[in-house]
Amino acid sequence: MNNFQKLATGVNVLPLLLAIKRRPELWKADTYLRDYPQGPFGDVESILLRFPPISVHETEEELKNHLSTFDQHENYDRPEYKELHEARDLIMPLMTMVQGERLGRCIINKVNAGGRIYPHADTPSHADYYSRFHIVLQSSPGVVFISGDEQVYMEQSSIWWFNNKLEHEVINNSGEERIHLVVDIRTSR
């Protein structure tokens, strides 16, 4: 496999998963990804832990002016990251494992049973700068993750790198929610 690499199994994801279940309102705190026009995330609920300070509702001109004033790769801790401090216990060891130099976006994505993330490729500037990792909080057989011409099932409590430069998608054919912590890291490798 060239587009996926399993990095770890048996990761203790239960504290974060339980914290999320205790705070269901966090799924509705910010709907940027879901609301993005023509975006691939219409079926997805997200908790943005770290993200750039951009709103989907800005006009193109406002966005252009906004982008010129900051580093496009900078991401900021959001209040949800503080509320779900259990996420740090997964993110920081991953940073160490992959010799991370800079932490980027951190997002918890939920795809309901029967839902999907539609085919898309991440922007080249972002995908060239950061490596993409998935920490699988909840998943069942029937969830298919496709990148390029390869596909995998990522089992719960595992960590994966995948090639987000290629077109990719997720199809949840299982009977339960698929929940991943997506972490972008600039690595020294």
Tens of pLDDT, residue by residue over 72-123, are 788 899 999 999 999 999 999 999 999 999 999 999 999 999 999 888 888 8
pLDDT above 70: percentage of residues in the chain? 87
Question: Which pTM does this prediction carry?
Answer: 0.89
Mean of per-residue pLDDT scores for the chain: 88
What letters, b where the CB count within 10 A reaches 16 and e where it falls short, cover 31-61?
ebbbeeeeebbebbbbbbbbbbeeeeeeeee
- The candidate with the shortest Cα–Cα distance to 34, out of 88, 115, 102, is 115
